[in-house]
Amino acid sequence: MDFTLSPEQKAVQEKARRLAQEVKEDAARLDRQGRFPQGILELWAKEGLFGLALPRDYGGGGCDYVTYVLAQMELAQACPSSALILHVNHSNFGLAVNRFGTEDQKRRFLPQVAQGEVFACFALTEPEAGSDPARLKTSARAEGAGWVLSGHKNFVTSGNLARFALVAALTDPNLRSKGISAFIIDLAQTPEVTWGPPEAKLGLRGAESVSLYFDEARLPADSLLGDLNQGLKVMLAALDGARVGSAAIAVGIGRAALAESLAYGRRREQFGQAIAQFQATQWKLADMACDLEAAALLTFKAAWLKDQNLPYSTAAAMAKKFATDTAMHAALEGVQILGGYGYLQDYPMERYFRDAKAGQIYEGTNEIMRLIIARELLKGGGG
C-alpha cells in the first residue's frame, strides 16, 4: 500500500492550504455577521478549485477524487460554509450530471458550475421526506413536449442563489419509490419557481438553506437526468460521492479544532504551567489526533475506491459517519480545552462546534449511515 501523494495531489493540497490561510480571518468575520462568503468563493473559483475532479472537457480540473478530498480537508479548516457551497456545486450537482448526463447536458450545465461562475443546488429533501426520500411528494407530469413539475423542497443549500437545480420528483406515483425521476432545472428560465427566506441556522451561517416552491414549473423535454423513473438511483448515487466530500469537510473542521486546541494549550498557563502540560489535556489532544487520522484514512479509502470505479457506497457511509462524529467530538473537546474562552465568539472554537454539528445530519444522518453499513454487514459484505 502506497500512501505517497502524487506531485499533482501535493500541488493542489498546498494551493488549497494557501487559499484557506488567506481567507481565515474573513471567514470568521463573515460567520459572526451571518453573511454570504462571496469574496471567498470568487477567490476559490478564480483559482480553479470549483471543478477539481470534474473532467477538463467540461471546464473541470481533471483530477481524481482523492485530490478533491485533499483540497476540501484544507479549505474546510478556514471556511466550512464556503467549503460546503463549493461541495454542492462540485459533487452533489457536478458529479451527478457528469455521470448521468447526456453529452448535451454536460456541455450545457457543467462548465459554468465547474468554473464557479454559477451556483448549483441539490433538492431532494421535503418537509415530510427527510431520511426517507422515497416518500417525496413533488411530482412531474409529461405535458406537450416537456414536463410540468410541482412541489416543495426544503433545506436546499444555495437554493436562492443557484442557477441550476437537481430536483427529484415523482413521475409515476403508482410505482412509489420506483417512480421517481431526476430533473435538471435552469432556475433562471423557470419563472414558476420561488423560494423562502434563508433558514436561521445554528452553524454554517455563510451557506444559505432555503425552501424551493415549484408551482406548475414548465420544463423542457431534455430536463430529465438519467432514465425515466430512475431518479432515486441518480440522487442516491450523487449522495454516495458527496458523502466522501462531506467526510473531508469534517476532517478539515476537526483538524482546525485540534490546531486551535494545541496552540491555546501551549500558551494558556494555570497552576504555573501551560495547560498542555497536564496529562488530562494531552490525552484529549492525542485522542483527537488519532481519531482525525483514522477519519482521514477512511475518507481517502472511499475516495480511492470511487476513483477505481469500485463499489464504495458502504465505504462512503463509514467515512461520513466516522469523520463527522470525529469532527463533532474534536470541537466538543476543543471547547473544553479553551475553558470559558471556548464558549466565546472571540475565539474560533465555538464556530467549529456549531459547524461540525451539521455534518452529522446532512446528506443522510449518521443513524442512516449506520443503517447502510449494517445492511451491508448483514448481506455478508465487509464494506
- Shortest distance (Å) from residue 165 CB to ligand FAD: 10
Which of helix, strand or coil describes residue 8?
A: helix
155 versus 347: smaller Cβ distance to ligand FAD: 155
Between β-strands 162-170 and 119-123, what pairing exists: parallel, antiparallel or unpaired? parallel
Give the closest residue to 207 by CA, choosing from 29, 331, 93, 37: 37
Contact segment (CB under 6 A) with ligand FAD among 175-183, 273-281, 346-354, 362-370 equals 362-370
342 burial (CB, 10 Å; 0-12 / 13-18 / 19+) is buried
Confirm or reject binding of residue 358 to ligand FAD (CB under 6 A): yes
| Of 259, 320, 311, 288, residue with least CA distance to 69 | 320
Position 157 contacts ligand FAD (CB under 6 A): yes
Piece of the chain touching ligand FAD by CB under 6 A; list 31-39, 72-80, 152-160, 261-269: 152-160
The values of phi and psi at residue 140, to 5°, are -135, 135
The residue assigned the cell 494551493 is 15
The residue within the footprint of ligand FAD, chosen from 48, 130, 146, 198 (CB under 6 A), is: 130
Looking at residues 94 to 123 of the shown chain, list those that interact with ligand FAD (rule: CB under 6 A).
122-123
Q: Is 364 in the site for ligand FAD (CB under 6 A)?
A: yes
CB atoms within 10 A of CB 104: 9
Residue type at position 210: V
Residue 131 within binding range of ligand FAD, rule CB under 6 A: yes
State in angstroms the smallest separation of the CB of 155 from ligand FAD: 3
Pick 156 or 248: Cβ nearer ligand FAD: 156
Residue labelled with grid coordinates 465547474: 114
- The correct pick among 297, 354, 365, 383 for binding ligand FAD (CB under 6 A) is 365
Q: Would you count residue 281 as binding ligand FAD (CB under 6 A)?
A: no
Question: Is 195 one of the binding residues for ligand FAD (CB under 6 A)?
Answer: no
Closest distance to ligand FAD from the beta carbon of 205 (Å) = 10
In the block, residue with C-alpha cell 469532527: 327
From the list 226, 205, 210, 221, the residue with the least C-alpha distance to 354 is 205
- Looking at beta carbons only, is 229 or 366 nearer to ligand FAD? 366
Per-residue x/- mask for ligand FAD, residues 72 to 91, rule CB under 6 A?
A: ----------------x---
Q: Give residues with Cβ within 8 angstroms of 340, minimum separation 6.
A: none
Helix (H) or strand (E) holding 353: helix 349-359
Q: Which of 350, 363, 367, 376 is catalytic?
A: 363
Is the separation of the CB atoms in 104 and 155 below 8 Å? no
Tell me if residue 42 is catalytic.
no
Are 22 and 74 spatial neighbours (Cβ–Cβ below 8 Å)? no
CB contact set of 382 (below 8 Å; sequence gap of 6+): 376
Q: In this complex, which beta carbon is closest to ligand FAD, that of residue 134 or of residue 371?
A: 371
Alpha carbon distance 242, 320 (integer Å)? 9
**Phi, psi at 119, each rounded to 5°:** -100, 155
The backbone torsions φ and ψ at residue 230, rounded to the nearest 5 degrees and listed phi first, read -110, 20
The residue type of 124 is: L
Cβ proximity to ligand FAD: between 30 and 358 the closer is 358
Of 65, 155, 264, 300, the residue at the interface with ligand FAD (CB under 6 A) is 155
CB of residue 18 to ligand FAD, shortest distance in Å: 27
Among 76, 124, 161, 285, binds ligand FAD (CB under 6 A): 124
Q: Which is nearer to ligand FAD, 204 or 257 (CB)?
A: 204
- 80-87 and 231-267 are packed helices; what angle lies between their axes, rounded to 10 degrees? 160
For the CB of residue 88, give the shortest distance to ligand FAD in the complex, in Å.
Answer: 6
> Smallest distance, Å, CB 154 to ligand FAD?
7
Give the residue with the Cβ less far from ligand FAD, 261 or 326.
326
| Nearest by Cα to 371 from 298, 323, 296, 314 | 314
- When binding is defined by CB under 6 A, the residue of 89, 105, 209, 223 that contacts ligand FAD is 209
Q: Of residues 125, 281, 313, 314, which one binds ligand FAD by CB under 6 A?
A: 125
Catalytic residues: 363
Query: Which positions touch ligand FAD (CB under 6 A)?
Result: 88, 122-125, 130-131, 155-157, 204, 209, 358, 361-365, 367-368, 371
